[in-house]
Amino acid sequence: MLVTKKAPAFITTAVLPNNEITSSFSLYENIGENGAVLFFYPLDFTFVCPTEIIAFNHRLNEFTKRGINVIGVSIDSQFSHLAWKNTDVNNGGIGQVQYPLVADLTKSIARAYDVLIEEAGVALRGSFLIDKDGTVRHAVINDLPLGRNIDEMIRMVDAMIFTNKYGEVCAAGWEHGDEGMKASPDGVADYLAKHSTEL
Active site residues: 49
61 near 98, Cβ under 8 Å?
Answer: no
145 near 42, Cβ under 8 Å?
Answer: no
Q: What is the rounded radius of gyration, in angstroms, for the C-alpha atoms of the chain?
A: 18
CA angle at 96 for the pair 90 and 99, rounded to the nearest 5° = 135
- How many Cα atoms occupy the beta-carbon half-sphere of 33 within 13 Å? 6
Long-range residue pairs from 20-28, CB within 8 A, at least 24 positions apart, any chain: 21/78, 21/82, 25/100, 25/102, 27/71, 27/130, 28/134
67 near 23, Cβ under 8 Å?
Answer: no
136 near 3, Cβ under 8 Å?
Answer: yes
* Angstrom distances, CA of residue 162 to CA of 76, 93, 171: 36, 36, 12
